[in-house]
Amino acid sequence: MADLATEAAVDPANWTCPAPLRDQPVVVMGHGGGGALSAELIEQVFAPAYGNPTLAALTDSAVLDLGGARLAFSTDSYVVRPLFFPGGSLGDLAVNGTVNDLAMSGARPAYLSTAFVLEEGVEIDVVSRIAHAIGAAAEAAGVTVATGDTKVVESGHGDGVYVTTAGVGLVPDGVDIRPQRARPGDAVLVSGPIGLHGVAIMSVREGLEFGVEIASDTAPLAGLVAAMLAVTQDIHVLRDPTRGGLGASLNEIARASGTGVRLRERAIPVPDEVANACGFLGLDPLYVANEGRLVAFVPPEHAEAVLAAMRAHPQGAGAARIGECVAEHPGMVVVATGLGGTRVVDLPLGEQLPRIC
């Protein structure tokens, strides 16, 4: 290109790097996005500070031996905006999220705690509506809110209402469900259409209108898991693909187990409204958050029976077999496109960013 500046000759020994993301000195939004930045924060900050073999498993809930019982234990904070959205509220999420984290170990959730951080100036009515949503969601999930806490921060130091829930449940004998147990040959099942929660939140948070109302999929999954375990206790992996979506969850499983995952793009249930919204915004449905879906790795001999049990349950009516666990490309998720090509589904860096055009 004669009249244009050209790049300097490549000299790897002397390159200067302007990359601002190499060492993040401050927390950025992506650290909470459930992707690579979240994982680095855990690996580089939290694990060294209080790491132990139980924590190192990095599962949705820890499974602990306590007085002869196998206890699943989990905690999570909920900071969603807006507090109420189509299909649910902060209260629903705070219950279902923790219940689902317990269920992903195969546990029967039993008790929850709730901790509120309230910002000065929030209407009591708002707090009451969230509390009632928590009560209703707990009843629907079959768990008891056994203890709680409330703090208030000055106006401008919070975002209305934050809720943290912790929960415990019992893991039945003979059940051993964790990402490390994925095996080549396992069928990869998803319990229903993906992306509804993330798109529902975006539609109200950003004032985007997609022509149809999209409701969050938030729901408790412990009943669905019990129905699956009634078919076989030999379910290898369960994961609820929340932040980071299906793409992040499958990457975490692939990395934890040292196996690969092969998906068939056309088998993945993506609702039209999610596909359209994602197309409009330049997002990939595989990375959009869910709150009422699970992904399961099931030995092939049980796959069809488990799939049938899922479809017979209200929370699994749209279940589908979307791929397999493979020995090739360990740690990597690959999708066969509808046209017959392939692409890698990587762990997202942080939150997805809408494209310019």
Partner 1 sequence: MKYIDEFNDPDLARRLLEEIHATATRPWALMEVCGGQTHSIIRHGIDQLLPEQVELIHGPGCPVCVTPLDVIDKALEIAARPEVIFCSFGDMLRVPGTDRDLFRVKGEGGDVRVVYSPLDALDLARRNPGRQVVFFAIGFETTAPANAMAVHQARRLGLDNFSLLVSHVRVPPAIEAIMTAPECRVQGFLAAGHVCSVMGTAEYPELAERHRVPIVVTGFEPLDILEGIRRAVHQLERGEHRVENAYPRAVREQGNPAALSMLEEVFEVVDRNWRGIGRIPASGWRLSDAFRAYDAEYRFDVTGIRTEEPAVCRAGEVLQGLIKPTECEAFGTACTPRTPLGATMVSTEGACAAYYLYRRMADGPAQRGSRIPREELNSIG
Q: Which residues bind partner 1 (CB under 8 A)?
A: 1-12, 14-22, 24, 26-30, 36, 206-208, 262, 264, 272, 275-276, 279, 281-282, 329-332, 334, 336-344, 346, 349, 353-357
DSSP assignment letter at 178:
-
Comparing CB distances to partner 1, the nearer of 19 and 49 is 19
Comparing CB distances to partner 1, the nearer of 49 and 339 is 339
Burial class (CB in 10 A: 0-12, 13-18, 19+), 296: buried
Measured CA to CA in angstroms, residue 221 lies from 33, 93, 192, 205, 328 at distances of 22, 12, 12, 26, 31
Cα angle value 227/231/234 (rounded, 5°): 110
CB 168 within 8 A of CB 136: no
**CA 133 – CA 218 distance, rounded (Å):** 12
Instruction: State in angstroms the smallest separation of the CB of 332 from partner 1.
Output: 7
Tokens for 121, please give them: 């100036």
**CA 49 – CA 59 distance, rounded (Å):** 18
Residue with the two structure tokens 């690959």: 334
Instruction: State in angstroms the smallest separation of the CB of 81 from partner 1.
Output: 13
CB 297 within 8 A of CB 187: yes
Instruction: State in angstroms the smallest separation of the CB of 42 from partner 1.
Output: 15
Comparing CB distances to partner 1, the nearer of 14 and 52 is 14
Comparing CB distances to partner 1, the nearer of 17 and 49 is 17
Comparing CB distances to partner 1, the nearer of 67 and 207 is 207
Comparing CB distances to partner 1, the nearer of 95 and 196 is 196
Residue with the two structure tokens 């869910």: 290
Comparing CB distances to partner 1, the nearer of 45 and 305 is 45
**CA 47 – CA 157 distance, rounded (Å):** 28
Instruction: State in angstroms the smallest separation of the CB of 92 from partner 1.
Output: 26
Measured CA to CA in angstroms, residue 121 lies from 80, 81, 124, 161, 184 at distances of 18, 17, 9, 10, 54
Instruction: State in angstroms the smallest separation of the CB of 50 from partner 1.
Output: 25
Instruction: State in angstroms the smallest separation of the CB of 321 from partner 1.
Output: 12
Comparing CB distances to partner 1, the nearer of 97 and 348 is 348
Instruction: State in angstroms the smallest separation of the CB of 232 from partner 1.
Output: 26
CB 182 within 8 A of CB 295: no
CA within 13 Å, CB half, 264? 10
- Give the orientation angle of helix 272-281 with respect to helix 196-205, to 10 degrees: 50
Comparing CB distances to partner 1, the nearer of 3 and 123 is 3
**CA 192 – CA 221 distance, rounded (Å):** 12
